[in-house]
Amino acid sequence: MTDETPKRPLLHLVFGGRVKDPQGLEFENLEDIHFVGMYPNYREAEKAWRGASQAQVDDAKCKYVIVHLHRLIDPDHK
């Protein structure tokens, strides 16, 4: 890739909600999932994740995650 070739966005999804076990990822109610947003790179997704997580810091059963959608869409992409 040359300097003139624009980098392709690496999509990341940030969402969260209450989980059954704070050490797991099984959400209590999928209808109550909070979709924070879609981001073009990990740095932006991490900022959003951190903000959403810190807003719920008093609720031990509330968890937010970052999903690397670009890895699901194109698993061979390096």
Alpha-carbon gap, residue 49 to 13, rounded angstroms: 9
Which residues in the chain come in under a pLDDT of 70? 1-6, 77-78
What's the confidence (pLDDT) of residue 34? 96
Q: Are 19 and 30 contacting, i.e. CB atoms less than 8 angstroms apart?
A: no
Q: Would you say residue 4 lies in a domain?
A: no
Q: Are 78 and 51 contacting, i.e. CB atoms less than 8 angstroms apart?
A: no
Q: What is the pLDDT of residues 12-25, one digit of tens each?
A: 999 999 999 989 99
Q: Domain containing 64: what range?
A: 12-73
- Which of 38, 34, 39, 35 has the alpha carbon at shortest distance from 59? 34
Task: Count CB atoms within 10 A of the CB of residue 16.
Answer: 20
* Tally of structural domains, the chain: 1
Q: Would you say residue 19 lies in a domain?
A: yes
Q: Would you say residue 2 lies in a domain?
A: no
State the pTM of this model: 0.81
